[in-house]
Amino acid sequence: MTFRPSSSPACRSARAEAGRKRAPMHDIAATPPDLFDAERQALAAARAVHAAGAGDAMAAHAALGELLASYDRLLRETRRLVRRSDRAELEMTRLNQRLQDLAGELEYRATHDPLTGVLNRAAIIDVANRQFLSHDLALVVLDIDHFKRVNDSFGHPAGDQVILGVVDCLQHAAPPGAQIGRVGGEEFTVVLPGWSMERTAQIAQLVRRAIEGRDFALPDGSRVTASFGVSWMPRGACFDLAYALADEALYAAKRGGRNQVARAAGPGLSAGAAEASPARLVAAQASGA
């Protein structure tokens, strides 16, 4: 059944009263429109008829019709608003997820080397210092031998491929829990919480052999090697001290002919003893002599 708006005095009066309360056009921007204005008017008309008593059946019938029609519109509008709210919620969820993704990307870029994907210098230092709070820690420092010759002879793209190959060797040899960082152009470090000097030197030897035996596809067919320094420090130490010892051992390996693993002097040695014997070579040349 279709109900038409009533022309009864009560309904006309209610609609006129509602119309007088509408904001003029120039106030729309200042006063948000009432989304349920029609429903409010119908309810006001029904209240007016109800207040007038049961004397005008036609007016009551018409007011009821308007109320039913307005209620139907109210349901439709409510459903529309709920759907809009659901869409807005989905969009908000999507935007929040995107913000989280962007935050993750920014954090990754701030802590990782863009070429290799391993930790950058600041990040690996932070990892080591945090591990030192609760663990003894072994540190491996390695430097690619004669890397400048690769860049100068074959260009930086070839040098980048060598660096990526060295990182691949590191990642395959590194045990669970180890963290790899790039601390310089061709220099890397591996943080090994809870590892002894002996076991860490063995890992360094595995990496050394892997690099030595890898075909880096350089134009002249030359091989790539690396030199290693290994240090160990007890819980409560810091990266700077462990790195200084490993770096000293690394340069002892360089002076000894490269392609070697050298262990740093122990932390318990006196300064004089450390100076006299900065490192002990545990593996020499490619021949294994």
Q: Are residues 180 and 234 in the same domain?
A: yes
Predicted confidence (pLDDT) per residue in 186-227, tens digit: 999 999 999 999 999 999 999 999 999 999 999 999 999 999
Single out the catalytic residue among 17, 89, 105, 186.
186
- The count of domains in the chain is 2
Q: Are residues 63 and 151 in the same domain?
A: no
Q: Are residues 169 and 101 in the same domain?
A: no
Cβ atoms of 253 and 260 within 8 Å: the answer is: yes
Pick from 250, 170, 178, 247: nearest CA to 211: 170
Domain boundary residue among 80, 108, 136? 108
Predicted confidence (pLDDT) per residue in 255-276, tens digit: 999 999 999 986 543 333 333 3
Q: Are residues 133 and 233 in the same domain?
A: yes
Cα–Cα distances in Å, from 110 out to 97, 103, 124? 20, 10, 12
**CA gap 289, 282 in Å, rounded:** 10
Q: Are residues 157 and 74 in the same domain?
A: no
Q: Are residues 130 and 61 in the same domain?
A: no
Cβ atoms of 23 and 17 within 8 Å: the answer is: no
182-185, Cβ contacts within 8 angstroms, sequence gap of 24 or more: 182/113, 182/115, 182/116, 182/118, 182/119, 182/120, 182/121, 182/124, 183/121, 183/124, 183/141, 183/243, 184/121, 184/143, 185/147
State the number of CA atoms in the 13 A half-sphere of 281 facing the CB: 16
Q: Are residues 82 and 127 in the same domain?
A: no
**Token pair in block for residue 232:** 């160990």
Instruction: Say whether 112 sits in a helix, a strand or coil.
Output: strand
Q: What is the mean pLDDT of residues 42-51?
A: 72
Q: Are residues 98 and 135 in the same domain?
A: no
> Any catalytic annotation for residue 186?
yes
* Residue 288 lies inside a defined structural domain of this protein: no
Q: Are residues 165 and 239 in the same domain?
A: yes
Is 50 exceeded by the pLDDT of residue 28?
A: no
Question: In which domain, by residue range, is 215 found?
Answer: 121-283
Banded model confidence at residue 40, pLDDT cuts 50, 70, 90: confident
Q: Are residues 64 and 36 in the same domain?
A: yes
